[in-house]
Structure 1
Amino acid sequence: MAWLLNSCESNTYEEVAGVVEFPTYQANVKKIMDDKCNSCHNPDYGQEPYLQTYELVKDACENGELLCRIDGSCGAIMPTSGKMPKARVDIIQNWALQGYVEQ
């Protein structure tokens, strides 16, 4: 029994859950934005781009630097607290690649 308890890894759910094959804004991306982005990227805080709605997040991906900022391939990494887990980055990237499905 001691071996079993000592052999457990402390991975987060996201690290072991795998890739979401068909992410949508409502089911997947919105939760990430609410958790990691919207505390700064909102009109009250004043940090553009604002990321509270489907349209705003889609625009930030298509016409801004959201995708390259979250994967660290341009500018400063976002969020400023540190790079998100790969599973979260992959969800947002897959969502964009698959045409920004809302529902």
Structure 2
Amino acid sequence: MKNNILFKQQLFLVLTAIFFTSCLSNVDEEVIIEEPVSEITFNVHVKPIIDNNCTQCHSTAGGTSPNLETYAGVSANAARIKAEVESKRMPIGGTLTDEEIQAISIWVDAGSLNN
């Protein structure tokens, strides 16, 4: 009788382990397709995003610091810009697409080059 209970307990443990292991292998992973870092440039990708979404406020005319009208202003604040757009705190009153956020992040991670 004791052997029968012990066998059932061991069988239960083995089946439970198999169940949880199979659950782990069936989890869908999010796949993010990134453009190669060399293809994300300030002039072609980042500057238009900044101009269309940020300089209304962050410019000489807009009056909000930091001024993001030039490469110097954007690059000096690159890490801050990345953090603000990734957290979706910026732009206020607007939204960036996931692709725009990803382009800014890739550009910043690549060194915020003037390319």
Q: TM (normalized to structure 2)?
A: 0.64
- Name the structure 1 match of 2:84: 69
The offset of 1:19, in angstroms, is 4.1
Aligned equivalent of 2:92, options 75, 80, 99: 80
Q: Distance in 2 between matches of 1:53 and 1:96?
A: 15
Query: C-alpha root-mean-square deviation of aligned residues, in Å?
Result: 1.7
Bigger relative contact order (CA 8 A; separation at least 6): 1
Residue 94 of structure 1: which of 93, 106, 109 is its match? 106
Q: Percent identity?
A: 25
| Alignment match of 1:48 (pick from 62, 65, 85) | 65
Structure 1 residues 61 and 20: CA distance shift in structure 2, 3 A: same
AA partner of residue 41 (structure 2): T
Give the aligned residue type for 1:99.
Answer: G
Q: Is 1:25 matched up with 2:42?
A: yes
Larger Rg: 2
Q: Which runs of 4+ in 1 moved over 3 A?
A: none
Q: CA deviation at 1:83?
A: 3.5
**TM-score after normalising by structure 1:** 0.70
- 1:38 counterpart = 2:55: yes
> What is the CA–CA distance in structure 2 between the aligned matches of 1:20 and 1:53, rounded to whole Å?
24
Any unmatched runs of 5+ in structure 2?
1-32
